Amino acid sequence: MPELIRSFANRLRELMGNRRRAPRYVTHLEAGLALSISMPSSKATPEQAERLGRSLKLSGYTRDISATGLALIVPSIRVGGQYITGENRTLQIMLKLPQGAVEIYGTPVRYSPLDEGGTDTGYIIGVNITSMSDEDRARFNGYIESIKTEG
C-alpha cells in the first residue's frame, strides 16, 4: 500500500508541477552514510554493546542536492540488519565536495527502489537536512552556488 501511495504522489507531482521549496541541482558526489544505533546497556550483552556502539556504514552517491535536502543513491536500505529509512532515524552523511568533505545530519523522508534496467541501481533516498556546522554549511552553499552558475 505505501508503494501505491508513493507512486500516486509522484504521478501527481508530475502532473501538477514540482512545488518543492528549494531548487534541486543534479550532481554526482560520493557520500558515506553512518547510522548510529544504541541499545540500553542493561539489555545488551558486552558483545552487542560493542557492536551497536559503533556506527553502521554504507556508501552511495548523490543524484541531486538542494539547500534543504539530498537525493542519495545507495545499494541497500539495510545495513547491519537495520533499516536506514526507519522511523526516527538520523543519518550522518559525509559528502565529498570538490572543496573538501562536509558532514551533514539528516532524516530520511522517503525512499524508492530504482528500476533494474536503469543506469542507477539500488534505492533512492530523499533526505531532509537537519543540521551541519556553520563552516560545512558555508562550503555546501558555496558548492550549490557554483553549480547553479554552471547550469
Domain regions of the chain by residue span: 24-150
Q: What is the pLDDT of residue 130?
A: 94
Which pLDDT band holds residue 46 (cuts at 50, 70, 90)?
low
Q: Is the pTM of this model over 0.75?
A: no
Q: Position 2: which residue type?
A: P
Cα–Cα distance, 44 to 40 (Å, whole number): 6
Look up residue 151 and give its DSSP letter. Answer: -
Which CATH class name applies to 24-150? mainly beta
The residues facing 73 across adjacent strands are: 61, 124
